[in-house]
Amino acid sequence: MIQIYHNPRCGKSRTCLAFIEQTNQEFEIIPYLTQTPSFNELKVLLKQLNIEPIQLVRTKEKIWIENFKGKTLSDDQIIITMTENPILIERPIVVKDGKAIIGRDPDLVASFLD
């Protein structure tokens, strides 16, 4: 089953969700701002995405700029920061068959779901 870590206030996330709805595949919406992934869940997502924790951070968010920009954080500290401030998690994240992508590009999502 497809999972989408979704923020309904984000245009890219809404576009990705609309695309997934059109595929007629089963999917689950995870509203990650209210159902924040745990430290371990984020570690799994990072492995599925095959990226470093900092690559999942929205570094232009006010919270990041005011509190973390320019600081040296370990990967675990970055993950903890995302669990404490889920708005910092890049979105949407699409998971299928043990792999994941950041679904900001509809063409990438289409090829990922095929």
Q: Which residue has the tokens 């968010």?
A: 61
Q: Which of 2, 10, 73, 87 is catalytic?
A: 10
Q: Which residues are CB-contacts of 70 (< 8 A; sequence separation ≥ 6)?
A: none
Is residue 16 annotated as part of the catalytic site, yes or no?
A: no
Buried b (16+ CB within 10 A) or exposed e, 22-32: eeeeebebbeb
Tokens standing for residue 52:
């470093």
Instruction: Give the catalytic positions in this structure.
Output: 10
